[in-house]
Amino acid sequence: MRLFAALVPPDEVLDEIERAIAPHVGQVPGLRWPDRSTWHITLGFFGEVPEGVLPELETRLARAVRRHTALDLAFSGFGAFSSLRRAKVFWAGVAGDTITPLAGSVRAGARRAGADQTDEKRFHPHLTLARAKTETDLRPLAESLSGFSGSPWRAETVRLVRSHPGPRVRYESLAEWALAPAERG
């Protein structure tokens, strides 16, 4: 089964992103905008994981998540991989508390559990909004969205998600773990 771990932002925060990009959806040739139900911030992509690995993976991820506190985040700025001028993935950036240590723990736990295809790319927190098959210049799109700044929100849980590929990708939440409570300042 194809698995990943993710933070899923609250609906009201996703509503803001959806309103911001709505005038642009369908306006850039070659850009595909995935369904909002698939929006998430990937902490670790594990690829195809044998079903027998799942119990150990859940144990390891639960342990990794408990070591970290809830995160205060907001969506801020838009960018693209590999660059705005030669984009294949258009995304919203994530500001606030650093997510990198949590992502590192999640990925390490998955490797120890036997999820051998764990993604080793440098972690860059983002919310994927659109994809292109060929490199596309998205500088005008990013410029038109430059005034956007999302409301702050608290990430309090991490989900283990199964991806069901096909003409219409579907995600299934398999487990969810709470991050430790954040200290109020």
Which residues are marked as active site?
40, 126
Residues listed for the chain: 185
Q: At CA 51, angle to CA 48 and CA 53, rounded to 5?
A: 85
CA nearest to 82, candidates 16, 136, 8: 136
Ramachandran bin of 166, using left for φ above 0, alpha for ψ from -120 to 50, beta for the remaining angles:
left
Q: In degrees rounded to 5, what are phi and psi of residue 23?
A: -65, -15
Contact 153, 74 (CB under 8 A): yes
Please report, as a single letter, which amino acid is at residue 44.
Answer: G
Ramachandran bin of 26, using left for φ above 0, alpha for ψ from -120 to 50, beta for the remaining angles:
left
